[in-house]
Amino acid sequence: MFSGKIRYAFCLLNRNREFSMSSTSAPAPSNFIRSIIDADLASGKHRNIVTRFPPEPNGYLHVGHAKSICLNFGLAQDYQGKCNLRFDDTNPEKESEEYAQSIQDDVRWLGFQWDGEVRWASDYFDALYGFALELINKGLAYVDDLTPEQMREYRGTLTQPGKDSPNRDRPIAENLDLFARMKAGEFADGAMVLRAKIDMASPNMNMRDPAIYRIRRAHHIRTGDKWCIYPMYDYTHCISDALEGITHSICTLEFEDHRPLYDWVLDNITIPCHPRQYEFSRLELHYTITSKRKLLQLVNEKHVSGWDDPRMPTISGMRRRGYTPEGIREFAKRIGVSKSENSVDMAIMEGAIREDLELRAPRVMAIINPLKVTITNADGAQAREADFHPNMPELGKRIVPFGKELFIEADDFAEVPPAGWKRLTLGGEIRLRHSYVMRCDEAVKDVAGKVIELRCSIDHNTLGKNPEGRKVKGVIHFLSCEHALPAEIRLYDRLFTVPEPDGDREVDFCTHLNPASLTVVQGWVEAAVRDAAPETRYQFERLGYFVTDRRDHRPGGKLVFNRTVTLKDSWAKEQP
């Protein structure tokens, strides 16, 4: 009797569920990078801006990358410029097509599109090799065969200058010959490196003749076995920026000490474009870690189910958790861009997600911890039509059926209620959401004294209206047992129990894993969600925001919901 209306309402829901708060959100606040861009455009230094996002395809992107994506692509978008996606694929042993594809998927999911084709550092391997030859010919690079231990010894310390390598003054012709033979594969891995000749006494350790090429026999995801020498990141990155005409090369603050090397390379090769590097503080989000090495450890040691586990701070994990791209972009806007420490409470992220879901998520009822209710006077009781969202009529309506047997949340009943209790108790009345006023007449217990059933009666004159002569304050949600659908409900919480799980380097961060970060329960949901596609978001009234799992949920079959976030910040009163 209800299926036709439910299907129609669900079609309306799907058609409208892409409603976004982004169209009404405020413009991005100014920051020091925007001020630089404004000045560059005003002075005529640049007519247009070109930024880039340069991840290494050696893992899945995390929330810190999301901030960088929003910054680089957002700047290009706001200034009608361009943003390139360029993979730093100079470390072939750790890179894979899987990671590269996941990164592209993440960027698109966040709502951005790069300019033109995807770019790769390997696109420039021939050019990079040519620029290395130019440095050698200028006497600004040399082949060194010191062992790694000797190189560390010669490099010096933060308080002591380094020493020149015995190979620093090799003749140019010899360096050219050795470098060509390195390329030809005549030497073992690690036997030699090509170093820039800068200043072994520099107070900046990055300028003490850094290696710019090393021998590494590893199959490359794009060039195969063509190369057995690979350029180092600091050398590759600045040249790639210049070849692409990047105007503002934006990176995190740990690269500030690398900027002199960035400039040195570009100042000493024949290349017309010289981008400028600007650094901002990286994101440190409480109750998470953003080290790729440690995230990989969580995956490999089976602490999580994979890179896209909804507890992971990866973009794919946040997506599977039910976070919205609009909410993540709003979070990035709120935390801002600066050079000061960017340690952010998880509540800011969760708040941005809640606010976005409040605008877009249809509301339905679900029961996580069911307590059976038998209605003793159910004859003649009627179903009622209800909106999917009180402020969004375009999301449509669905039927909320009623029956002789109901499920309510066990937590909504108390035999001995505490002060201020506004839910169900013996002899008390409450309003069933979208339905009748109900009175609890009897509690049935098992042999252990646990309440296993309530026997209640309804006021037939209260469907859609208040009772006469009395006020009922409490409202609880319910499901008709006959119409409710079973569902696997995954209650996700924060992965760690402390704000900075890797704050103490002497303590294994895994000791702070939250044993209650995932609880799986068998619950019940409204029939209106039967055909929901994967990644459909809902507010389960009074329980939180949930999403159908993008991996395991089957429309019309096995229903799997992940809790995205609670309705309120349950961590507001954190332990000291």
Question: Do the strands 437-445 and 451-459 form a parallel or antiparallel pair, or are they unpaired?
Answer: antiparallel
Q: How many whole angstroms separate alpha carbon 565 and alpha carbon 353?
A: 8
Q: Can you give the pLDDT at residue 29?
A: 72
Q: Which of 119, 155, 197, 292 is catalytic?
A: 292
Q: In what order do the strands lie in the sheet with 211-215?
A: 141-144, 193-196, 211-215, 229-231
Which residues, including other chains, have CB under 8 Å from residue 303's CB and lie 6 or more apart?
510, 513
Q: How many whole angstroms separate alpha carbon 245 and alpha carbon 47?
A: 12
Residue ranges of alpha helices (H) inside 322-479 are 325-335, 346-360
Residue ranges of alpha helices (H) inside 17-96 are 32-43, 63-78
Q: How many whole angstroms separate alpha carbon 96 and alpha carbon 74?
A: 27
Q: Which of 168, 214, 282, 294 is catalytic?
A: 282
The model's pLDDT over 257-290, given as tens digits with 9 standing for 90+, comes to 999 999 999 999 999 999 999 999 999 999 999 9
Q: Is there a catalytic annotation at residue 292?
A: yes
Q: Strand (E) positions, 353-472?
A: 363-364, 366-367, 370-375, 384-387, 397-400, 405-409, 429-432, 437-445, 451-459
Q: Can you give the pLDDT at residue 20?
A: 38
Q: What is the mean pLDDT of residues 384-405?
A: 96
The model's pLDDT over 195-238, given as tens digits with 9 standing for 90+, comes to 999 999 999 999 999 999 999 999 999 999 999 999 999 999 99
The model's pLDDT over 281-314, given as tens digits with 9 standing for 90+, comes to 999 999 999 999 999 999 999 999 999 999 999 9
- Report whether 346 contacts 285 (CB < 8 A): yes
- CA 530, 532, 538 angle in degrees (round to 5)? 105
Percent of the chain at pLDDT above 70? 94
Half-sphere exposure of 365 (CA within 13 A, CB side): 25
DSSP letter assigned to residue 281: P
User: Considering only the top CATH level, what class is 1-17+366-483?
Assistant: mainly beta
Q: Residue 15 above 70 pLDDT?
A: no
What is the model's pTM?
0.91
Q: How many whole angstroms separate alpha carbon 212 and alpha carbon 210?
A: 6
Structure tokens at 99: 């990671």
The model's pLDDT over 49-89, given as tens digits with 9 standing for 90+, comes to 999 999 999 999 999 999 999 999 999 999 999 999 999 99
Provide the b/e sequence for 461-473 (b: ≥16 CB within 10 Å). ebbeeeeeeeebe
Structure tokens at 504: 């103490």
Q: Which residues pair with 544 in a beta bridge?
A: 540
Q: Which of 56, 95, 279, 409 is catalytic?
A: 56
Q: Can you give the pLDDT at residue 536?
A: 98
> pLDDT class for 569, splitting at 50, 70, 90?
low
Q: Can you give the pLDDT at residue 568?
A: 84
Q: Can you give the pLDDT at residue 18?
A: 37
Q: Can you give the pLDDT at residue 570?
A: 58
The domain segmentation of the chain, as residue ranges, is 1-17+366-483
Work out the burial of residue 53: count CB atoms within 10 Å of its CB; fewer than 13 is exposed, 13-18 middle, 19 or more buried: buried
Helix, strand or coil, per DSSP, at residue 418: coil
Q: How many whole angstroms separate alpha carbon 278 and alpha carbon 354?
A: 33
Q: How many whole angstroms separate alpha carbon 34 and alpha carbon 38?
A: 6
